[in-house]
Structures are given as structure tokens and as C-alpha cells.
Chains A and B, each alone.
Chain A
Amino acid sequence: MSAIRNGSRRDFLKKCLIGAAFLHADGGSAIRAAVEPGTAPAKSKVVIAHDAMLRGAGGTVDSRRMLNLLDQSMQALFDCDHALEAWKKLARPDETVGLKVNALGGRGLSSNLQLVEAICERLQEAGVKASGIVVWDRDSDELERAGFHVSMGGNRVQCFGTDRVDYEPELVTHGSVGSRLSRILTRRCNVLINVPVLKDHDGAGVSIALKNMYGVIHNPNKYHPNGCNPYIADLNMLPEIRARMRLTICDATMASYEGGPGYKPEYSWKNNALLISQDPVALDYTGWQIIERKRADRGLKTLEGDGRAPHYIATAADVQHRLGTNDPRKISAIAVQAGA
């Protein structure tokens, strides 16, 4: 009662709503992780974690340092002393976790192997079975070309493309989108962790978190006109995606600022960073700004000037979608310098 007495009517209603969200959330650990009871998040957190020494002498990412970078990022995002606490909030031991990587760019510009291994390691430490983790994208051959080892069955981490299990026969629709969803998403995953790459995109402007969901559907080619807008936002509204999505860990160890989405060495840079957030819109906005700064450094036009500003980000934030915020005043960018 004292809480009611001491707080305003608005605060009380807010708390009731949050409580209701907890009670109704099926496997609501994502909500638990994002919102502490009684405190509506004022800002969306985006962690930008760098490690200047991430790469060893050969230029490849050092696994140990990657694990450390990931840990520090998770601690910063979830405001906890140990990364494991954060992982335990994200997935229960009985859940199956899908890591939706991006393997389009081959070995040069796909989700980093050491990053994916680090995520798998921490998930298992949090109690998720190895066989309960699925690393996936649309095509097994693309995964192999990106350096992943395709693996189905057994008591190990699973890794395969939708080509092995097909798409659902029935269409799901939202707004402008009507698609068949990967059966990996619908039948194998309770939890989705999005592991995209920070890169330029010739149509959408940038391809980061939200655009990575194009790998979930059977007909992404239909959704590239008009800068992929409003298709990206509509696609991410599908309940099958929203209900499972808990976190985005964007691989920005190698990123591209031009010529995407394919790998063009001349337009890519070793950024040695991760972007992590539970707000995919805020993450995309933040990633877009990083790409714009790099383009400015290299004397390139802005994406707006190039006729391909990522308008889909604003659409994802609008009142019809509310997938997150693109308002920089409502984004808390948390810089982490790992190994420092």
C-alpha cells in the first residue's frame, strides 16, 4: 500500500501493466532482462564494445579476447557483475536457441565464427544444451562458404540452413509482407538471438539487425523495392519473429561502408567491435551512424546523398510498428573498451 501512497496514479498503473506483462509473457525472460520491475526503461541501451587488440598476429580474431569482449558487452547491457547472469536471463535450460547469423558475405563479411562460438559457449554455461543451440541461415552451402561446419543431429551445436528443412507451407502476413517462414524458426527455436553483420546495402542503405530477418523468409527478393521500406519493418512485426527475439549481437569486427551486401575488401574495415542491444531499431540507428562516419572519413556521400538513406529504420519506429526507437535522445549508447 505504501507504494501506492507514495507514488502517483500514473506510476501505479505503469507498475500494474509491467506486472501484467510478466504474468502473461510466455517464457518472459526477455522482458525480465530488459525491464526491471517498477522502472520503465527511459532509454534503449546499445552497447558499442571495442577491442583494439581483438586480432592476433595473423589478422584473425582471437577467441579468448572475443569471449572477453562479449562478456563485457553483456555485463554492460544487462548491468550485472557477471556475464553468466545475463545469459541466464536470456534463455532457460529447456529452451532451444537459434542464432540467426548472416552468411551471405562469405568468409570476408559474414557473422564471425569466433563470436558465434563465444555465444554458444556462454549459452551452454547458462545451462542450454549444445543440441539446443541452432546456428542457422537460409542456405547450408552459404554457411559452409562462410566457414561454418554444417552439423545436424547428435549432442552438439546444430548448424544448417533452411534448405535442409524447408519453409512452412502456409503464408504469414503483416502489412506489405506475405511469406513462408523458415521451419528452423517456427519448429526448432523458442528463442532467437540475431547475429547480423554491420554492413552497407545497395538497396536498404544499411543491413544490420532488422534486415537480417530477410534470411528467415522464402521470398526476400520481393521486398527490395523502395529501399526495402516498409517491408523490413513489416517483416519484423510478424509474431513468430517478435515472440522469439531476445537479443541482437551485431558482429562489427569486420564491417563495410560501401558496395554491400557482398564482401568488397576495398570498402570493408576491421572495426573490431560488437554492437549489442535488445532494441533492434536503436541498434540499426546506431550502426547506421557508424557507417555514415566511415563514409565521411573516406570522402563518400552520405547515404541520403547517395539516394539510399535507410528510411526503413524510421518506419520500424513509427506508431504502426513500434519495434524500437530511432530517436537518438532515447538511445543510451554505452561504450565499452575491452582489454583496456
Chain B
Amino acid sequence: MTGGNMSHAPDEQEGGKLPADGAAEGERPTIRDERSQKRCPLDRRSFLKCALASGAALGLCELDQPLIALPSWVAPQKQDDSRFTVEAKFYEKLQGKKIKCKLCPRGCTVGDLERGYCGVRENRGGRYYTLVHSRVCAAHVDPIQKKPLFHYLPGTLAFSVATAGCNVNCKFCQNWDISQVRPEQVSADYIPPQQIAGLAKQYGCPTIAYTYSEPVVFSEYLMDAADAGHQAGIHSVVVSNGYMQEDALKTAYGKMDAVKIDLKAFSESYYRDVVAGELKPVLESLVTLRKMGKWTEIVYLVVPTLNDGDSELRGLASWIKTNLGKDVPLHFTQFHPEYLLKNLPITPVPTLERAKAIADAEGLHYVYIGNVPGHPAQNTYCPKCRRMLVERVGFTADQMLIRKGSCPFCGQPIPGIWRE
């Protein structure tokens, strides 16, 4: 997988220079020591970009004003729907002006004038339309680590966009104010695919990320934007729940350079009760992505008492090892009470560490802990010699030692899409 299908590599970094501002580094002398021997940090420009973007993501400062602000709870201005309305790609016409959606496993049968579960697709006279093509309700410049994608161009930025809508209803959703609304209920801008690619370039982002809400429901836009991006030398990645029918997955995510899947639990009951979805199709999507050779990372949000049992975690890790291989990165991330799940505490760090220990013991090579700034399990270590290869602080990749897709210390191949 090293190098992946990167036909348009970002600018070459300037090697051999330490970042100028490194207050946090002083707190980690061992890291500095290691660097002094074999250092290959990010160039100064990349570091500053990431640091600023990371700060913005943490709410400390903003890289720039968000291109589009999140809803401010005033009635959105009436929008001209026609600009955003494009016939959907994945559906079947039925008798009586009904349609059957073939985008996600829900397979909604939708009568005339009705919408599917996602709320962003509407049957108009027997034809099914997406109402969110180019209808961007959130756009930000984020570090790629925030997705999180740890084995994909570390230290780079992603021009990240979302439309309204989602095909599930997770009770812990952090972005429910855009994912669980209809498009007309949230302010949005018209940003056609070519403009997205142009904005990504303008902001120094080698990648467009489709994220925040659920990109499954804006697949048509994602596909067109990915095509426009590739023509302009910009990659595309998607952050998705993977709850998608196989044909749609192959068609839409086939255009992606990397995929991050939120595997929300390893039990059908959790998917039914907390997610309003199903586990089996998500597992099938992961296998399909594997067969497609698509670089994929998995995030597992650990919710106290609901999906953090030893046997469930062991089953998860074992399934990944058997079906996807031990090199697939697995991120255990910390839950914060949100939306409809405010009665549970933040995931204790020891719980995350226990999850990681279980997955490590099952033999997975790259198990990370997320949403815990400064935790050493945010770094990438060589599975063979155990040396640290990528150090991450917050959302920045502070150093990157991987060379030609391998550990510079022992030569062990490190899978991913790396910036050489």
C-alpha cells in the first residue's frame, strides 16, 4: 500500500529542520533525543499550518473564518432548491410513482413527495432526487489527523466539507445539528465540485475530506467533487459510517484515495438501539473496501457500559485481524456526552487503554487511542522494533520518520499512504 495511488504528491517537504516553535517538545526530552539522531520532521511551513489548524480544531484559534458557519438558530434564508437538486444515482423506480433507494442498506421505499430516512433525498413524481448536491453547510480546513487518518499523508491539511443529512441516527452524534436535519433547515452555500477543488488548492490542502455529517447521503456530490479534485491534483478521502449498499460503495468510494470507517460497535443490538442501523452491512463494506485495495482506517468510539466489554472488544479485534489483516489501523476514541446520550460519562482513559491492550494482544499492529491529547498511543510505532515513527501532538504530526514506506531503523514496511 505504500505510496498508494498517489499520482499527485504534495509539495516536497524541506527535510532536516526542526520546527521553530516547539514548546511542547521541551516536555518530551526523549523525543528530542531520538530526533537528534534520526530526525525527519515536517517542514516549517507544514508544521505551522498544522499547528494553526490544530488550534482551530481545538477551539484555541482559527486558521481562518470557517467558510460556512454552523447554524445560529435563526431561520435559514429560503434557498433556491433547484441549484442543489440533482437526480439521484442509486435507486429503482417502482409502480405508483414510488421508488426504492439503493444507496444504503435501509433501502427506503419512498412515495411521491416523501423523503427517505436520510431526509436529503426526495421523490418527486416518481423520480428520486438528492437535494444536497453542492449544498455545503460546513467547510473547514482541518489537519488530516483530525479525521483521524494516521497512515495517510501525516502533517497535511484536508479541505473538509459536509452537507446536511445522515442515514443513521447515533444517539451520541456530535454534529447532530447538521446531520440530523433537513437541508432547508440549515444555512448552506452553493459550492460546485470545481470550486471545491479550487478552494482546496487555495488553502494549501492536498486533500478534500467528505466528513462531519454522513457522506453516504451526498454520494453524488462526493463523486463529482472527487473527479474535479483529481483533475486538479487534489486527493479525496471520506469519513463514513460504511452503512452502504455494495454497488453504491464500489462506485462512490471507488473514487476515494482513503477511507475512514466509524465502526460503532461490534454488536447488532448496539447498532439497533444506539445507532438505528445494522452491523453486518458495515462489516461487509469493510471487507469490500479491503478487496478494492482502498486504504482504510477504523475508528471505534468507546462508550462506557454500552460497547466497552472485553469480549466485544476481543471479538472486534479478532474479526479485523481475520478479515482485514493486522495492519489496518484501529483507533479507540473517547466518548463525550452529546445529543441524546448525555447520561453517560466521558470514557475513562484506562478503559481506552484496556481496549488497546486487548487489540494489541489479538495481534493488531496499529492500535491508537484518540481524543486524548498527549497520549503516547497517538503515535505510530514500528511493530517490529517498537521505535516511534510518527509523533503526534493534538492534531499535528510533529515528526515523521517513515522513509519509503518503511521503518528507518529496521526496515519493516509500514503500510499507508506516505508523503516521501
Contact = CB atoms under 8 A, between A and B. Distances in A.
B114 interface: yes
Interface centre among B98, B111, B115, B116 (most CB of A within 10 A): B111
Given A171-B339, A173-B340, A164 B75 contact: yes
Contact of B182 (A104, A202, A218, A225): A218
What DSSP secondary structure best describes chain B's contact surface? loop
A260 B78 CA distance: 27
Given A218-B182, A218-B185, A219-B181, A104 B113 contact: yes
Interface in A142-194: 163-167, 169, 171, 173, 178
A178 B114 contact: no
Contacts of B76: 166
A254 to B, nearest CB: 16
Nearest to A178: B340
25 contacts: A104-B113, A163-B75, A163-B184, A164-B75, A166-B74, A167-B185, A169-B73, A171-B339, A202-B109, A218-B180, A218-B181, A218-B185, A219-B119, A219-B180, A221-B115, A221-B116, A221-B119, A222-B117, A222-B169, A224-B108, A224-B117, A225-B276, A259-B111, A262-B113, A264-B112
Given A171-B340, A260-B111, A262-B97, 9 more contacts: A163-B75, A166-B75, A171-B339, A222-B119, A222-B276, A224-B117, A225-B117, A262-B112, A264-B112
A174 to B, nearest CB: 11
A132 interface: no
A222 B116 CA distance: 9
B339 A165 contact: no
A165 B75 CA distance: 5
A230 to B, nearest CB: 13
A324 interface: no
A222 B75 contact: no
A182 to B, nearest CB: 11
B118 interface: yes
Interface of B: 73-76, 78, 96-98, 106, 108-109, 111-119, 169, 171, 180-182, 184-185, 276, 339-340
A261 interface: yes
The 8 A-B pairs of least Cβ separation, nearest first, read A166-B75, A221-B119, A262-B112, A169-B73, A262-B113, A202-B111, A178-B340, A221-B115
B333 to A, nearest CB: 23
Contacts of B98: 202
A164 B116 CA distance: 24
Secondary structure call for the A interface: loop
Interface residues of A, number: 24
Given A218-B181, A261-B114, A178 B339 contact: yes
Contacts of A222: 117, 119, 169, 180, 276
A224 B107 CA distance: 13
A171 B73 CA distance: 13
Contacts of A202: 98, 109, 111, 114
A171 B177 CA distance: 10
Interface in A239-277: 259-262, 264
Contacts of B181: 218-219
Contacts of A167: 185
Contacts of B118: 221
B307 to A, nearest CB: 20
Interface string A194-226: 000000001000000000000000110110110
A264 B112 CA distance: 9
A173 B342 CA distance: 12
Contacts of B185: 166-167, 218
A148 B339 CA distance: 36
